[in-house]
Amino acid sequence: MKRYISIIFNITFVLTIINGQDSDSLKKGDFAPNWSLKSNQGKFEFLNNWTVDSGRQLRKPTTQPDRHVVVMIFFATWCPPCVNQLNLLEDISQQYKNEKIKFFIVDITEASRKKSEDKDWPTAKFLLEEKKFTMPILDDNIYAVASKYEIKAIPTIFLIDKFQTVREVIKGFDKKDDLKGTTELSKIIEELLDE
C-alpha cells in the first residue's frame, strides 16, 4: 500500500504540467528570486554570488567579481526523467566548465519524502556520487526555493542570465530527444554567454 501511495504521489507531481496546472509558474522574462542553499560540499551557495540585477554588485565582488549565467535544475531521485537527464546535463556542464556559467542541481527529494510514505528513495548525494557527476547539489529539503520558483512539475530547468532574469524555462525530459535537447540548451547557453 505504501508503494502504491508513493507511486500515485510521484505520478501526480510529475504530470501536473500535462494537465495545464502550471499557469502560475515563474516564466521567461521574470526576475529570478534570490536564494541560499547548502551544497553537498558543505558550504552555502547564494544566487547573488553569481548574478544580480543590473546596477547592483555581486555578493562578494572582491573574491568573485564576474557575473555568471546560472542553470538551475530542479530534481528528485524518485523522478525517472530527472535521473535520465543528468548524463546530458553533466556533459553540457563539462563542455562549459571553463566559461562564466554555474550549474546547480536543486534537490527536492527530502522535501518530497516528507509528503510520501515511501522512504526507499536514494539520497541525491549518494546517487550523484555513484555516477560521478560533478554538478553541485543544493539541498532544498523544505521546498523553500522550489516554492519561490513556483515549481509545479519536475524536471524543470531555469536558465538565468548575468542580470538575474529568467531567460528560459525547460520543463520535462524525453530521452528520445537527447540530441535535440542538447542542441537547444547549448544554443541558449551560447547566447547568454555572448551577452
**Residue pLDDT tens, the chain, 195 long:** 444 334 434 444 443 433 334 445 789 999 999 999 999 888 999 999 999 999 899 999 999 899 999 999 999 999 999 998 998 999 999 999 999 999 999 999 988 877 776 667 888 877 777 778 889 999 999 999 999 999 998 999 999 999 999 999 988 887 666 655 677 889 999 999 999
- Domain residue ranges in the chain: 2-194
Query: Dihedral, CA atoms, 65, 164, 77, 113, nearest 10 degrees?
Result: 110
The per-residue pLDDT for 118 is 64
The per-residue pLDDT for 105 is 95
The per-residue pLDDT for 179 is 56
What is the largest distance, in Å, between two alpha-carbon atoms of the chain? 55
Phi and psi dihedrals of 53, rounded to 5?
-60, 150
The per-residue pLDDT for 138 is 96
Q: Name the burial class of residue 38, with classes exposed (0-12), middle (13-18) and buried (19+) by CB atoms within 10 angstroms of its CB.
A: middle
Phi and psi dihedrals of 37, rounded to 5?
-140, 150
Containing 181, the helix (H) or strand (E) segment is: helix 178-194
Q: Name the burial class of residue 44, with classes exposed (0-12), middle (13-18) and buried (19+) by CB atoms within 10 angstroms of its CB.
A: exposed
The per-residue pLDDT for 74 is 96
What residue ranges in the chain does DSSP mark as E strands? 36-38, 44-46, 69-75, 101-107, 137-139, 156-160, 166-171
SS3 126: helix
Distance CA 121, CA 76 (A): 9
The per-residue pLDDT for 13 is 47
Q: Which architecture, in CATH terms, is 2-194?
A: 3-Layer(aba) Sandwich (3.40)
Distance CA 12, CA 10 (A): 5
The per-residue pLDDT for 117 is 66
